[in-house]
Structure 1
Amino acid sequence: MEFGADFSDPWHFEMGIYLSTPKTDKFSEDGENPRLSYGLSSMQGWRAAMEDAHAAIPDLDSSTSFFGVYDGHGGKVVAKFCAKYLHQQVLKHEAYLAGDIGTSVQKAFFRMDEMMRGQRGWRELAVLGDKINKFTGMIEGLIWSPRSGDKRDQVDDWAFEEGPHSDFSGPTSGSTACVAIIRDNQLVIANAGDSRCVISRNGQAYNLSRDHKPDLEAERDRILKAGGFIHAGRVNGSLNLARAIGDMEFKQNKYLPAEKQILTANPDISIVELCDDDEFIVLACDGIWDCMSGQQLVDFIREQLKSETKLSVVCEKVLDRCLAPSTAGGEGCDNMTMILVQFKKLTPAGTSTDDKSLSSGNVKTKLKPTPAVTPADEKSLLTEEVQTQSEITVAGTYADENSTSSEEE
């Protein structure tokens, strides 16, 4: 992902700098439960810094799994923040408890922006950005936390924390977010940005998300109405995304709701009823999709699965295939993160697999196969516009590219 450099934010770094030799060490992981197996891998590659993060929680609850990829721009902290907290916020929302998973995940996307403001947000980002160590951050938290017994604490443990950064308006760096939540036979995708999810249905690739680029009509209209502009395919001449978490400089209009700001974290929500033909899904950042189309990736994975059972190894092979031999061409030079989720048992006996459809909100939308095109030509393939309605699920722990630890607030 590309971003115009801005060093006013203490956690904001330029992404356009390449190393003389790529870093090919990989963070890889495998896991499973009775319903699915997953493998993942991430690699810094040619980039000067690793700004991707991910979350993989196969057992959010007894019937739910959560997977997410987060592609940071201008720094790593927003991606790491999302990997640590987004799934937790889905669980905490009252809509989740009521079974409305779509609303809960949509609210969780917006909640990330809210949580990164103020003293507590500043402190969390500082720790994640390695600007202060975790011990120092803990001490500052003890000094500047709200007074014990403050009733406001019970309403929202992130609000009202006082300190020298109480007026912090949030990071100018940001991140995409592409999340897959699997509950029983239902798959829910929430996406903001240009990370992507693809499903293999009997060997045919179907895009389950759409890249949010500024030149899309709906995105362009919102940007212009909010007072922004588009230059050279970039929002305000800077960001080549129309939706992302973070990037608070684009979300400062006090007279507009979050979903109508120049840049919004509002995700598209897509819902798929899984069938026996569904083999696996792939969640990946654009470092992969810049090099392979959805169908090319599905074909490659299916070929690898004939001889390789460890899914993280398959992911590693994809990363190696995408890595460019030099930085001359641009493609294959980005950070790369990929999660491969393989289904074990998809539907109960007797469920029809003929209705190959995707639902968005209350709308049934026929899936359309990805065409045999190069990645640069591949466009959003949902035959009807995906709405930002909801119906979805989540819970868990987190992992980013620098840590395998689990944590919950």
Structure 2
Amino acid sequence: MDLFGDLPEPTQSQTPAPLQFQEGSQNGGTQDGVRKRKPSSGDDEEAEDEEEVKRLCTEGLPVLRGYVAARRGERDEMQDAHVVLPDMSGLLSVRPRSVSHLSYFAVFDGHGGARASKFAAENLHLTLAKKFPTGDSENLEKLIQKSLMDTFKQTDEEFLKKASSQKPSWKDGSTATCVLVVNDTVYVANLGDSRAVLCRMESSEGHNKPVTLCLSKEHNPTMYEERMRIQRAGGTVRDGRVLGVLEVSRSIGDGQYKRCGVISTPDLRRRQLTRNDRFLILACDGLFKVFSADEAVKFVLNILQGGEGSEEQKDPSLDPGLDPGLDPVLDPVLDSACQQLASEAVRRGCADNVTVILVSISFPK
């Protein structure tokens, strides 16, 4: 089954020119104890060619910035964790020439403690960097898909091994919603009930209107396929929960429920970013208990456009006549939107932890 088959491809695609990247010292430095030779004029020309290729590769690719807001709510402990890596390239030893830029953003909503979410936040992206495709291939999408699947499996296995070695053993678990942006393509891997949504502006009757695109799939035991898997494994679903206790049907950790059909296999989705895209919202269910996806998107847009509740100036990135998102002066506006969204979730009565990552999307002219 094609896990990406349910998402339409955009009408236009931009394919970056090839670029080879490898960690190591610069010219004139040392690597493995061997000093590199001084570059000749021919080497200078090659270096200039590489710089030109690099420039061409990054032209037209989206510029991503991440902003985070976290609220403890009425809980005694903050069990959420998050990761914001606008540039993940430095973690790769070698990357395919066709990959010019790599970003990673993730939200983990812990339950039963904060250890599973913290472990996933500290380790999942490092494992992904090791498993990320290293060579050029016509099947890069499938290789990225496989690396994500293998990463989730390994992260879960490693945490369960650590949890079972404790006295008493840890019972923690965590959801995971991870966004990997490769060039201008978004890959979303998620399990549990944390979510990712995309705001895209579409023209309608001469006006730009926001469209909310859901990039993740919730996993709870009331869903037919999830319930059937749990029951086949010998588990039960009572009051919408696994064994009447666990709210999610897929998670990292939760070792005591793995024998009941709770799995760590993520749902994978892919979408290509366009110049009509404005931002991504990644958030735990604490936000979406009191906000619908559409409401969250419109709340952020209202602040960026200087509407009611905004503490900042209008965001020029929403004006088609200006170069969007490239001026650092815009940062306080976006940060304010993220902070206000999380605070509003608490004000509306969400007693759970609330973590929100707002990822701004802009394209150079």
Question: Partner residue of 2:66?
Answer: 38
Question: Partner residue of 1:71?
Answer: 109
Amino acid at match of 1:74: G
Deviation, 1:95, is 4.6
Query: TM-score, normalization: structure 2?
Result: 0.66
Measure the CA separation in 1 of the matches of 2:234 and 2:228.
10
1:195 aligns with 2:157: no
SS of match in other structure, 2:347? coil
After superposition, the C-alpha distances for 1:223-243 in whole angstroms (9 at most, x for unaligned) are 011111101111011101111
1:55 aligns with 2:83: yes
> For 2:149, which of 84, 106, 109 is the aligned residue?
106
1:333 aligns with 2:351: yes
Deviation, 1:117, is 3.8
Asked if 1 retains the 8 angstrom alpha-carbon contact of 2:200 and 2:211, the reply is: yes
SS of match in other structure, 1:213? coil
Deviation, 1:94, is 5.9
Moved over 3 A (4+): 94-99, 165-171
Question: Partner residue of 1:154?
Answer: none
Q: 1:80-99 to 2 correspondence within 5 Å?
A: 80-93=118-131, 95=133, 99=140
Q: Determine what percentage of the aligned residue pairs are the same residue.
A: 34
Deviation, 1:312, is 2.2
Give the structure with the higher percent helix.
2
SS of match in other structure, 2:87? strand
> For 1:244, which of 243, 248, 251 is the aligned residue?
251
Deviation, 1:166, is 5.2
Asked if 2 retains the 8 angstrom alpha-carbon contact of 1:117 and 1:168, the reply is: no
Asked if 1 retains the 8 angstrom alpha-carbon contact of 2:160 and 2:255, the reply is: no
Measure the CA separation in 2 of the matches of 1:90 and 1:182.
13
Measure the CA separation in 2 of the matches of 1:324 and 1:193.
24
Measure the CA separation in 1 of the matches of 2:215 and 2:336.
24
Aligned pair in 2 of structure 1 residues 335, 276: CA closer, same or farther (>3 Å)? Answer: same
Question: Partner residue of 2:241?
Answer: 234
Deviation, 1:169, is 10
Measure the CA separation in 2 of the matches of 1:80 and 1:237.
25
Deviation, 1:97, is 5.6
Q: 1:216-231 to 2 correspondence within 5 Å?
A: 216-231=223-238
After superposition, the C-alpha distances for 1:358-377 in whole angstroms (9 at most, x for unaligned) are xxxxxxxxxxxxxxxxxxxx
Asked if 1 retains the 8 angstrom alpha-carbon contact of 2:160 and 2:253, the reply is: no
1:313 aligns with 2:356: no
Measure the CA separation in 2 of the matches of 1:226 and 1:262.
5
SS of match in other structure, 1:116? helix
Question: Partner residue of 2:14?
Answer: none
Aligned pair in 2 of structure 1 residues 64, 225: CA closer, same or farther (>3 Å)? Answer: same
Measure the CA separation in 1 of the matches of 2:134 and 2:247.
32
Asked if 2 retains the 8 angstrom alpha-carbon contact of 1:96 and 1:104, the reply is: no
After superposition, the C-alpha distances for 1:30-53 in whole angstroms (9 at most, x for unaligned) are xxx971122111111211111000
Amino acid at match of 2:80: D
Aligned pair in 2 of structure 1 residues 218, 97: CA closer, same or farther (>3 Å)? Answer: farther
Question: Partner residue of 2:36?
Answer: none
Higher relative contact order (CA 8 A, sep 6+): 1
Deviation, 1:112, is 1.4
Measure the CA separation in 2 of the matches of 1:84 and 1:108.
13
Amino acid at match of 1:344: S
Aligned pair count reads 258
Amino acid at match of 2:277: D
Deviation, 1:314, is 1.2
Structure (1 or 2) with the larger CA radius of gyration: 2
Measure the CA separation in 1 of the matches of 2:258 and 2:340.
39
Measure the CA separation in 2 of the matches of 1:59 and 1:41.
20
Amino acid at match of 1:81: F
Deviation, 1:116, is 1.7
Aligned pair in 2 of structure 1 residues 93, 113: CA closer, same or farther (>3 Å)? Answer: same
Amino acid at match of 2:303: Q
1:285 aligns with 2:303: no
Question: Partner residue of 2:180?
Answer: 181
Amino acid at match of 1:317: Q
Deviation, 1:345, is 1.2
Measure the CA separation in 2 of the matches of 1:166 and 1:226.
25
Measure the CA separation in 2 of the matches of 1:73 and 1:52.
9
Query: TM-score, normalization: structure 1?
Result: 0.60
Question: Partner residue of 2:38?
Answer: none
Asked if 2 retains the 8 angstrom alpha-carbon contact of 1:93 and 1:104, the reply is: yes
Measure the CA separation in 1 of the matches of 2:150 and 2:211.
32
Aligned pair in 2 of structure 1 residues 117, 170: CA closer, same or farther (>3 Å)? Answer: farther
Measure the CA separation in 2 of the matches of 1:235 and 1:186.
35
Measure the CA separation in 1 of the matches of 2:304 and 2:281.
14
Measure the CA separation in 1 of the matches of 2:358 and 2:226.
29
Asked if 2 retains the 8 angstrom alpha-carbon contact of 1:189 and 1:270, the reply is: yes
Deviation, 1:170, is 6.5
After superposition, the C-alpha distances for 1:273-330 in whole angstroms (9 at most, x for unaligned) are 11121111100011111111111111111111124432222111111211137xxxxx
Measure the CA separation in 2 of the matches of 1:294 and 1:60.
27
For the aligned residues, what is the CA RMSD? 2.2
